[in-house]
Chain A
Amino acid sequence: MIFAEWKPLDELIEKLKPYKKVLLVGCATCVAECAAGGEKEVETLAPLLRMALKKQGREIEILTATLEKQCEWEFVEALAEKVAAVEAVMSIACGIGVQALAERFDPKPVYPGVNTSALTIREEAGLWSARCAACGDCVLG
Chain B
Amino acid sequence: MSEHIVSPKIYLVIFLTLMAGTAITVWAAFQNFGKFNIVIALAIATFKATLVVLYFMHARYSPKRTQLVIVCSVFWLAIMLALTLSDYQTREHTVSHLAPPAIFNLVRT
Chain B binds chain A: no
Using CB atoms and an 8 Å cutoff, list the residues of chain A in contact with chain B: none
Residue positions of B touching A, CB distance < 8 A: none
